[in-house]
Structure 1
Amino acid sequence: MKRVEGKVALITGGASGIGLSAATLLAKEGAKVVIADFNIEGAKEHAAALVKEGYEASAVFLDAGNAKSVEEAVDFTVEQYGTITVLFNNVGLTNIHKDLDVVNIDLDEWDRLVNVNLKSVLLGSRYAIPHMQKAGGGSIINTASMAAFASDQIRTAYGATKAGVVNMTKYIATQYGKDKIRCNSIAPGLILTPAAKNNMPDDLLDIYTKYHALPYHGEADDIGYAVVYLASDESKFMTGQTLQIEGGHYIANPTIEDQNAWAASQK
């Protein structure tokens, strides 16, 4: 089923994890895709693999915090395929060693995350929207995070920038809805991307499992399929919204596990 046939999609941070899943699924559902990434060799490799399978895909270098680089990625997409109708603003960074609590956070790291996590969404949208207007509409999809809704002991900048993404999504949706341009975001919980698997030991993953409503972790395709939905006309009456895809991690009273343990101890 070609759910996004005829659409042209630019995926930032598309060479791995969630971005790669989205690029692959969009291509398989009929879109022409451009994989934009700082890791240009990885982007080229994955684009070539999609082409080999019979899909339409290209790759372009992207430094998401650099306005000129973002503009060039959008221009490349239009030059390759004539337009751009889907933009997946997916690039995001975090650094648990520098992005600390408010008193101790590295201020240079704060500036870096604001630039890459938040400004990149502004830049991608800024340069893509005029082409979407000419095309008669489009869909912008932003990667937020559940860190936008639930605070932590560290990652102050990450949470603040992702909250900014959620709110910017609403602003874009409001400002360009009459042009038939929709804008939505996705807030993933813990997703077992290669980066997560490589950096999180099993005992730490077990803590997350304990608090999920579901008995398993999310995978990149769980977000990738949501991107396909938001890119497709199936979601044509949806804009300004944030899909929380987090395994039910945040839906329960936070004391529920302790209550269950207490109840078990009374038997």
Structure 2
Amino acid sequence: MRKGEPLPWIVSDSLWERIEPLLPKVQRRTRHPGRKRLDDRKALCGILFVLYTAIPWEFLPQELGFGSGMTCWRRLRDWHQAGVWNRLHQLLLAELHAAGRLDWSKAVIDSSHVRALKGGPKTGPSPVDRAKPGSKHHVIAEGHGIPLAVSLTGGNRNDGTQLMALIKAIPPVRGRRGRPRKRPACLYADRGYDHDLYRRQVWHVGIRPHIARRGTPHGSGLGIHRWVIERTIALLHWFRRLRIRWEIRDDIHEAFMTLAAAIICWRRLVR
């Protein structure tokens, strides 16, 4: 963070204008209303504070005015169940598409291992960490590295199992005249996706596959296209909460992943 820049967990007015209409409206009870509900914007700042710093929920500083960690956790859970983060991600993709900043000529896919210290659903013995519990972050990005879809699986799952799932998870992106855009022209992937079955599946949905083959020497030239996904995963893990999976519940970790992908899109839009 450069000197003079606003703190990243402080929600700007322009970002809040996009998020507020997506949030579900909660009517306060007329009888036995209880304590006043924490402002949604402050709760979102608390969620972003945890996402950026990886601080435990119970240690969320009260003096910052974000409310209790449990309150922010419940808002993250409820908003994820309501589809807020997916709709925010789709909205920002549409704005990027309208501005001509999405490269649909190609897409790149890859995954990354993270340790899951507390276990839980969608974890498994990691083949790269002495069989300790871990998870995988699967990401597909367009040609400039903007994430189109993300998913979470156990650390022992093969990359190819998420290939078609991620392609199908790409939302229909509006923003220009005509039908919404949903499919890139071609797809680049490394040797972890090398199987003729996967190639046929990708061809079947109208995408040209460029998948490196096992047993062939490096230097095929595909790396000049695949490097962008490494940068995208690095940006995703720049959010400290995603470097290690602390959540037992998989839906909470997936909520953080989708929110982080939306924030990456937001940065590309404003910068």
How does the TM-score come out when normalised to structure 2?
Answer: 0.24
Relative to the length of structure 1, the TM-score reads 0.25
- Give the structure, 1 or 2, with the largest relative contact order (CA under 8 Å, sep 6 or more): 2
Question: Greater helix share, 1 or 2?
Answer: 1
